[in-house]
A and B are shown apart, each in its own frame.
Chain A
């Protein structure tokens, strides 16, 4: 055993997320024991019984490193993010939601009241005859109950505090996490602000062969028999590989599924979805009579879910941010 003073103090936190990132940390399996030899867990609500009071009691930067997963949906998410920022030397956005808002960020296509209606009132499997929705304050048995505020929009972690490192992915593959831990333990980290994954795109790691790189018809993966060797874009399947940072060994395309973009854009791209639309516009073959993409109007008609396709993980971190109401008074990042 190492001397206790030399041990790193590590934290982990889940904000608006599915829990998969916490599982991904455990996905290190026995390697997590190696980590624990050099580190003490100082805060990890998903795995250990720490309270917010414990966190508050830490000195500034007392935690060496915190893995923060999940986006910022509620006032609580935001409060803890700020608290962890204060108490942590290296704050890591861990996983797609902390990185870019992730799947919960797609709710930015709706406002708060629509989200509540959908979740608590209109959902066919929900029994709620009084139409109750969560309230920040409510009377119960003579007392007052308090809930965190539900923000109008989801933000990514960078949207509320400064982030030192990002480990991307939905969830981050164990190899990527392991690699990051090795960099920490060997004191070999890249400059702060880095996304610790590949520097190229999924296409770089993908073994499929591209031929013409042109699309005259869109297909969803379940609609056609996918050729195992050929580029998915060449087969009319929208694959986000060209605009998605490498580091996953092209695991989805290797499994015959198009890349959904969970690693976010490469370093010189600001808006992953917009960049994909831009590239797609370059390779669409529009105008052949009788083909699905006969005209520009047909392009969108043949794309059932454009936001979900191009902004699966990055809507909250995109330039337009989400649905903009008339007048454009929505909260913007």
Chain B
């Protein structure tokens, strides 16, 4: 800046909000005598069009170098007035707000000291600041336009498809050998009773065929560094020991494999071989050799599968492959697990074969399941005549288990009872519930239908005891509505087991510095207004990892997260407010005190042993500059010199 500063002060009445307490016209008269103030005026509403024009005209006519608008909080109209200053040819950072409303007129009544005097001091301080402001331009940064989706359940699939459809490259990383997630295990979906696989598999195929999407199944995110727009991610592709291109899915390997272990896809109701494909529509469509189950990946111990493979697709020498990729945005869709049996002492879960969880019952109901859709109980394959469904198993129980509501259980239990009754029309279905929560579209009608048409008996109350007596599962409970004790001899008990976040949530939260809530679900940036965003820039949430939700909600959130990612990726560069911290390198000794202080991970000590600010990540909070022992760090346009002069001006007469 050349020459002396020429500062204009614009005092807003804000109707009576300011003028009712503060003598605005005397303020304008007094401040004109202050050093470097060359223009002052007051007006009823500075934020109105005529008010804005006054500022614009004064900047042009009076050749102002800086503007102070004495008005409401900068969180209200700072941007408004900075745009006005810009339109008149000033840099936007040469306009500052002196807050004489929230910090003055509103807190001082008629007998509350001298609000006019105080307002004058606030304005003087702001004049001292704006005089020393430097013009700044937004920080611009290149970014990658690739998106990483972690998790290949329905939420991740939807997010990946939407981002890819918008023209961005996507890598979807799935821990398991196939995408599809829990939805692939479900029989039919409430309330419309569509076949789950029938509506899911087309999406899986679409994802697999989309040229913008690279699917990395049986892979895990190992290391993440960088920041919004520029994440560097290391992904481990675990060896499947089967070449998917060569494998023709003949299944000969599976037939000869001598090892049988618990089949995860059927929730342990059946076994699978060490070499297996989770289900026939699995994508990628190929076999995986589970090393934990395999006798040893060594032809000397067993090579039955490799010997049986005519396509020579089995390769024991495969090893993990580590891929490094850059991403602009990351969508965490890590999904859920059921609350583990080990944590539950109640209901004989894990003790009696015929006490099963909701996902196991889904498999029993599924046409691709172990009973091909016929409801037969696990212990002896008999068709159960009396089935008890227990809701909130491990949910809504802060003293013993999880405090939260798993949200989907009321609906899927009703669906289970309905499908059971359709399967076994003469059977009896009993549902123990605390409350029925059926808030979704057409959900309440579905529940009513199950209660009335399917004649499922709903019992409001908790089960107090469950014990096997004479080959039956005796269930004791209380029907709170009739006030009577209930005793049912059941053939099968289905627990609506609580939903907990998968291990992927805690792993991903550590890699990406994400917050988790009390139940371990991802914590969103704002529970209402930013539900798919994390506080880490460029990282978004989709699906149950963020909280229990049903399929339509998971799909919606997948699309929501995709929209946020597309918004970020489609911008030519990342732009950021330039009011950040800067380092005076001559003064910095690289002591590192600032690094741990930064809540945004925006600081590091670089190879030259001085602190370096990532201007895209810095939010200008100033924590580091106040902790810096040598005062090498300072906030742009809020330097120690500015603060000192502001204090002098404010404390002086």
- Contacting B at CB under 8 A, from A9-52, are none
A156 near B: Cβ within 8 Å? no
Interface residues of B in 572-620 (CB under 8 A from A): 584, 586-593, 595-597, 609
- B629 engages A201 (CB within 8 Å): yes
Question: Range of interface residues on chain A?
Answer: 20 to 34
Contact of A268 (CB < 8 Å), options: B597, B626, B631: B631
Which residues of chain B are near A243, meaning CB under 8 Å? Answer: 629-630
Interface string of A177-202 (1 = CB under 8 A from B): 00000000000000000000001111
With both chains docked as a complex, state the minimum distance between the C-beta of B604 and any C-beta of chain A, in angstroms. 12
Q: Which residue in chain A gives the minimum CB-CB distance to B630?
A: A266
Complex alpha-carbon distance, A213 and B588, angstroms: 16
Q: Which residues of A contact B626 (CB under 8 A)?
A: 278, 282
B625-636: contact bitstring with A at CB < 8 Å (1 yes, 0 no)? 011111110000
Chain A residues contacting B596 (CB-CB under 8 Å) are: 212-214, 283
Chain A residues within an 8 Å CB radius of B593: 213, 242, 279, 282-283
Interface presence of A210 (CB below 8 A): yes
- Does A203 make an interface contact (CB < 8 A)? yes
For residue B357, give the distance in angstroms from its CB to the closest CB of chain A.
38
B623 at the interface (CB under 8 A from A): yes
A246 lies within 8 A of B629 (CB):
no
A152 within 8 A of B: no
The residues of A that contact B609 with a CB separation of less than 8 Å are 204
Task: Point out the residues of chain A lying under 8 angstroms from B597, CB to CB.
Answer: 282-283
Knowing A242-B630, A243-B630, A276-B629 are in contact, say whether A282-B592 is a contact too (CB < 8 A). Answer: no
Alpha-carbon gap, A85 to B630, bound state (A):
31
Q: Are A266 and B587 in contact (CB under 8 A)?
A: yes
Contacts of B632 in A (CB 8 A): 268
What CA separation (Å) do A283 and B624 show in the bound complex? 11
The CA of A200 and the CA of B588, in the complex, are separated in Å by 6
**Hey, which chain A residues are within 8 Å of B584, CB to CB?**
268
B298-332 to A contact mask, C-beta < 8 Å, 1/0 = 00000000000000000000000000000000000
Q: In the complex, A246 Cα to B586 Cα: how many Å?
A: 12
> Are A269 and B627 neighbours in the complex by a CB distance under 8 Å?
no
For the complex, give the distance between the alpha carbons of A278 and B628 in Å: 8
Contact among A199, A213, A231, A275 for B586, CB-based, below 8 A:
A199
- Cα(A210)–Cα(B590), bound, Å: 10
A70 CB–B CB distance under 8 Å: no
Counting chain B CB atoms within 10 Å of each CB, which of A214, A268, A276, A278 scores highest?
A: A268
**Which A residues are in CB contact (< 8 Å) with B587?**
199-200, 266-268
Distance (Å) between the CB of A211 and the closest chain B CB? 9
- Chain A's closest residue to B588 (CB) is A200
Interface residues of A in 271-285 (CB under 8 A from B): 275-276, 278-279, 281-283
CB distance from A266 to the nearest CB of B (A): 5
A241 interface residue per 8 A CB criterion: yes
A283 touching B589, Cβ below 8 Å? no
Whole-angstrom distance between the Cβ of B3 and the nearest chain A Cβ: 28
Contact of A282 among B588, B623, B630 (CB under 8 A): B623
Which B residues touch A199, using CB under 8 A?
586-587
Proximity bits, B435-476, A CB within 8 Å = 1, else 0: 000000000000000000000000000000000000000000
Shortest CB-to-CB span from A70 to chain B, Å, is 28
Asked if residues B595 and A213 are in contact (CB atoms below 8 Å), the reply is yes
Q: Tell me the complex Cα distance, A200–B626, Å.
A: 18
For B630, the chain A residues whose CB sits under 8 A away are 200-201, 242-243, 266, 268-269
Chain A neighbourhood of B590, CB < 8 A: 203-204
Q: Mark A224-254, 1 if CB is under 8 A from B, else 0.
A: 0000000100000000011100100000000
Closest to A268 in B: B631
Residue in B closest to A201 when the chains form the complex, CB atoms: B589
Bound form: Cα–Cα A9–B632 in Å = 39
Q: Is the CB of A203 within 8 A of B623?
A: no
Q: Which residues of B contact A201 (CB under 8 A)?
A: 589, 591, 629-630
**Taking the nearest CB of chain A, how far is it from the CB of B85, in angstroms?**
31
Q: Tell me the smallest distance from the CB of B17 to a CB of chain A, in Å.
A: 38
How far, in Å, is A250 (CB) from chain B's closest CB? 10
CB within 8 Å of B: which residues of A?
Answer: 199-204, 210, 212-214, 231, 241-243, 246, 266-269, 275-276, 278-279, 281-283
Q: A213-B595, A266-B630 are in contact. List 10 more A-B contacts (CB 8 A).
A: A199-B586, A200-B587, A201-B589, A203-B590, A266-B587, A267-B587, A268-B584, A269-B629, A275-B631, A278-B627
Interchain residue pairs A-B with the least CB separation, the first 4: A282-B627, A204-B589, A242-B629, A203-B591
Would you mind naming 22 contact pairs between A and B with Cβ atoms under 8 Å apart?
A: A201-B589, A201-B630, A203-B589, A203-B591, A204-B590, A210-B592, A212-B596, A213-B596, A214-B596, A242-B629, A246-B589, A268-B587, A269-B629, A269-B630, A276-B629, A278-B626, A279-B593, A282-B593, A282-B627, A283-B593, A283-B597, A283-B627
